[in-house]
Amino acid sequence: MMREHAADVVVVGAGPGGLAAAVTAAECGRSVLLVDDNAAPGGQIWRASFDHGMAAPARAWHARAERAGVQRLSGTRVVDARDARTLIAAGDAGMTILRANRIVLALGASERFLPFPGWTLPGVFGVGGLQALAKGGFDLRGAVIAIAGSGPLLLAVAASLRARGAQIAGIFEQAPLARVRRFGIGLAARPRKLAQGLALLGALRGIERHHDAWPLHAEPAFSGLRVTFRTPRGNRVLPVTALAVGFGLVPNTDVAALLGCRMKDERVVVDELTCTTIDGVHAVGETIGIAGVDAAIADGITAGLVCAGRDDEARRAARRRFRERRFAAALERTYALRDELRTLATGDTLVCRCEDVPLARLADCMDARDAKLRTRCGMGPCQGRVCGPALGFLRGWPRDDVRPPLIPLTFSAWLELGTTGPRGRTDEMARSDAGDHDADRGGRTHRS
C-alpha cells in the first residue's frame, strides 16, 4: 500500500528556486510539501558538504521554511506524474503518492557532456560532478586537475576545488576571449554580479586561463591522464590526475514532460507568472532556462505568490525575474557552443556509455527514437541523461519522449508502482479522473 501526502502546493526540488517558492507560499498561509532527492536542502549551488554541513544560504532558507511550516520529504525522487494534481515519488521508505492543488517544478539542470576520445576514462569527471564529490568528502588534496568546457561554472568549480587543496593545471574555455571580455564589461551595469565575478577571478589568481580552447583527447598515463588541448597557440599536452569537463548546463525537464508541459529549446515554456501550459503547474529556476541562482530565487518567489493567490504581488515580483532572465540571455550568447566541438568525437568514440554505442553506429539513424530502436542508445541506467543532451548538440536531435518510471527502481518498488491499478493508477485516482475532465492532460503515450 503506497503512502500518501497531500498539500495545497507540492514543490519538487529544494534548490534555490524550490526553496523560495515553498517558503513564499507557506508564509502566505498555504500548506506546502517540499520534495527533493538529496538528504539536505540546497540543490546544486548550496549543496551540503561533509565538513561544513548545509551552506549558509540554504540554512537561512531552511530555517524560514521550518518557521513557515513547510513539510519536507527528502531522499525522495518524483518518478511518475499521473495528472496535474498527482505525482508518484520513490524514496528509501518506498513509494509515495503526492497530491496537490498546485505543483511547482524546480528540477534544476544537469551538465552537458560532449564525447571526445578518452572522455569515458577513469579520471575524467563532470565539473559539477567532481565538485559534488569533493563536497561529499572525496579528498582532492595534492591532485592536479585540468578544467575544460564552457561557462562560468568552470571558474566557480576551479575556485572551490582549489580551496579544497587541488592544484588547478589550467582552465580551457571554448568561448572566444573577445566575447567573454565583452560580457565582463557588460557586468559594469550589474555591480553585485561584477563584485562576484571579481572575487572569483581573485580566487583564481595564478591559474592559467585559455580561451578558444578545448580538450581534443585524453589517454591513460602514469599521473592518471595525459590530456591534449587545442589552444589558439597550438596544442597543449598536460599530465594530470583528473580532468573536469562540462559544456554548459541543460535544464531538467523530465517531470514537466510527463505532465505534458510545452517545451522549447530544451526548456519548459512559462508565462510571466511562471505558469506552464498545464493548468496548476509552475516551473522555476534552471528548469525554464539556465540563468543562475538569483533568477531561480526570483522565479520561486513569483511562483509562491501565484500559488497563494496573490497575483498582483506576483506581478511586481516578476519584474526582478525579467531582469535576471535578460542577464541569462547575455550569458547564453557569450558561451554558445562552437561548431568545431561537433567534430571532437571519432567514429569509435562512445556516445552512449551505458550501452557502449560508438558514434559510427548512429550514422544512419534519423533521430533519438530511431537510435534507441536500432542501437539501444539512451536505454541504459542513465536513461539518456548523458547521451541525450550530447546528441541534441551533435545531431540536433530533440530528446526522445520520457517514460515513467524516470529512474530505474528496485523490483519491490516497481511492483508497488505496478499494483496500484490499471496503468499504475489507484482505483480512487481513476474515479477522480473520471469526474475531472481537466485531469491527465499530459499527453503521455509511453509507459514501461
Ligand X SMILES: Cc1cc2nc3c(=O)[nH]c(=O)nc-3n(C[C@H](O)[C@H](O)[C@H](O)COP(=O)(O)OP(=O)(O)OC[C@H]3O[C@@H](n4cnc5c(N)ncnc54)[C@H](O)[C@@H]3O)c2cc1C
Contact 172, 147 (CB under 8 A): yes
Binding site for ligand X (CB under 6 A): 12-18, 35-38, 43-45, 77-78, 106-111, 128, 131, 153, 156-157, 249, 252, 255, 285-286, 292-293, 296
Name the DSSP letter for residue 339: G
> How many angstroms separate the CA atoms of 113 and 391, rounded?
10
Report phi then psi at 182, rounded to 5.
-60, -40
Q: Residue 104 or 359: which CB sits closer to ligand X?
A: 104
Q: Residue 108 or 149: which CB sits closer to ligand X?
A: 108
Amino acid at 87: L
H-assigned helices in 28-85:
56-68
Residue with cell 515580483: 317
Shortest approach of ligand X to residue 3 CB, angstroms? 16
Instruction: Residue 250: name the closest of 332, 171, 176, 179 by CA.
Output: 332
Shortest approach of ligand X to residue 316 CB, angstroms? 21
Alpha-carbon separation of residue 390 from 96, 258, 266, 404 (angstroms): 33, 21, 12, 22
> How many angstroms separate the CA atoms of 122 and 249, rounded?
22
Shortest approach of ligand X to residue 98 CB, angstroms? 10
Shortest approach of ligand X to residue 232 CB, angstroms? 27
Query: All 3 cell numbers of residue 118?
Result: 578518452
Shortest approach of ligand X to residue 313 CB, angstroms? 21
Residue with cell 546544486: 44
Shortest approach of ligand X to residue 143 CB, angstroms? 18
H-assigned helices in 136-280:
153-163, 177-186, 191-203, 254-259
Q: Residue 140 or 359: which CB sits closer to ligand X?
A: 140
Q: Residue 107 or 386: which CB sits closer to ligand X?
A: 107
Q: Residue 35 or 345: which CB sits closer to ligand X?
A: 35
> How many angstroms separate the CA atoms of 295 and 78, rounded?
24
Q: Residue 12 or 354: which CB sits closer to ligand X?
A: 12
Q: Residue 13 or 118: which CB sits closer to ligand X?
A: 13
Neighbours of 98 (CB within 10 A): 24
Shortest approach of ligand X to residue 43 CB, angstroms? 2
